[in-house]
């Protein structure tokens, strides 16, 4: 013949109402949600099967206190003094650590040849080449040194670009700078 406890256990799929671990009948007891002492009935609607240890802990506490105890467990509920070997609960999926943001590939600070030349000339101060021919060879040497070899024609284009920028003016073969 089935008892009240049997019925509750069956309805709960053989698990403790609170911790949901497989609950052998020998470890189970009927918990009156509203304690009998507080006027709780013996109806199934007021009863759950749970681990004896928890039932003992909850005792005749008010439903509010019981709720608090349950809620305080947060997440995976563990009944106190859970019987014997606990079934190895699957480890909670650790919140996958937020992948560190990929560091943006440092934009190859390819300060373009023209910027390179411009800043070099600025550094030279009064010792800037005064003649176009000297300027050309100076620029060629600089770019070669920076692993950016330029042909005469390309250097001529650079000088033209610098003129466009207003950084220098050329009169005949003479160069004047406005590098600030």
Does 8 sit near Zn ion (CB under 5 A)?
no
Out of 16, 113, 116, 155, point to the residue binding Zn ion (CB under 5 A): 16
Q: Which is nearer to Zn ion, 51 or 175 (CB)?
A: 51
What's the token pair of residue 138?
A: 């100076």
Count of beta carbons in the 10 Å neighbourhood of residue 69 = 16
Out of 8, 30, 47, 79, point to the residue binding Zn ion (CB under 5 A): 79
Q: Which is nearer to Zn ion, 77 or 140 (CB)?
A: 77
Q: Which is nearer to Zn ion, 16 or 113 (CB)?
A: 16
30 forms bridges with which residues in the sheet?
Answer: 49
Does 51 sit near Zn ion (CB under 5 A)?
yes
Closest approach, Cβ 40 to Zn ion, in A, equals 19
Q: Which is nearer to Zn ion, 77 or 157 (CB)?
A: 77
User: Read out DSSP for 79-143?
Assistant: -TT--SSPP-PPPP---PPPPPPPPPPPP-----HHHHHHHHHHHHGGGS--BHHHHHHHHHHHH
Residue 142 to residue 114: CA distance in whole angstroms: 11
Count of beta carbons in the 10 Å neighbourhood of residue 124 = 13
- The size of the interface with Zn ion (CB under 5 A), counted in residues, is 5
Q: How many helices (H) and strands (E) does the chain have?
A: 6, 4
Closest approach, Cβ 77 to Zn ion, in A, equals 7
- Which of 78-86, 104-112, 127-135, 150-158 is the region at the interface with Zn ion (rule: CB under 5 A)? 78-86
- Per the CB < 8 A criterion, the answer to whether 76 and 50 are in contact is no
Does 28 sit near Zn ion (CB under 5 A)?
no
Q: Interface with Zn ion by CB under 5 A: which residues?
A: 16, 18-19, 51, 79
């Amino acid at each position: 013949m089935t008892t009240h406890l049997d019925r509750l256990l069956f309805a709960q799929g053989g698990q403790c109402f609170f911790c949901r671990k497989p609950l052998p009948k020998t470890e189970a007891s009927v918990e009156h949600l509203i304690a009998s002492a507080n006027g709780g009935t013996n109806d199934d609607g007021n009863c759950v099967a749970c681990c004896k240890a928890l039932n003992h802990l909850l005792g005749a506490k008010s439903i509010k206190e019981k709720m608090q105890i349950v809620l305080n467990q947060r997440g995976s509920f563990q009944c106190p003094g859970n019987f014997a070997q606990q079934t190895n609960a699957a480890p909670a999926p650790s919140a996958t650590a937020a992948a560190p943001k990929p560091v943006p590939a440092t934009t190859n600070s390819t300060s373009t040849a023209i910027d390179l030349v411009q800043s070099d000339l600025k550094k030279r101060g009064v010792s800037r080449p005064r003649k176009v021919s000297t300027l050309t060879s100076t620029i060629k040497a600089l770019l070669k040194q920076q692993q950016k070899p330029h042909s005469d024609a390309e250097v001529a284009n650079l000088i033209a670009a610098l003129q466009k920028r207003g950084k220098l003016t050329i009169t005949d073969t003479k160069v004047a700078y406005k590098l600030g």
